[in-house]
Amino acid sequence: MQRALELAAQGAELGEVPVGAVLVMDGEIVGEGFNQPISACDPSAHAEVVALRAAAAKRKNYRLPDSTLYVTIEPCTMCFGTLIHARVARLVYGAAEPRAGVVASQLQLPQQVFFNHKIQVEGGVLEEQAGALVKEFFQQRR
């Protein structure tokens, strides 16, 4: 999670909302990323998606079973769906996202029975640091 926080800070330096993500398989980082929809002109370039794309390219497989994604902020609907399709085994996130987070804050998607894959979830890891990055970012922009 510490690496994800570092990546989030990199994104903030570029004017992106500070979210960072790291995908780990067999104890090795295989993909990482930070939010970059503005700089990449890509609405899907959220930190989680960037990390999953990097990992899939490295592994030469769109399925990433037995992997863990560490992300600083609770994922949105798009990102959670991407985790399902990639068959990520475990999600660890920092701070909740009360408005758009769909893991615990809003839709509780991991608990839904209609998905063909289940993801183990752990939230609140380095929550204060992750939340502070986002809070400071938006305070500076106002």
Q: Is 90 left (phi over 0), alpha (psi -120 to 50) or beta?
A: beta
List the one residue out of 49, 101, 53 whose CA is nearest residue 75: 101
Q: Are 82 and 109 in contact (CB under 8 A)?
A: no
Task: Spot the catalytic one: 16, 48, 74, 97.
Answer: 48
**Is 122 one of the catalytic residues?**
no
Look at residue 61 and give its three-state secondary structure. coil
Active site residues: 48
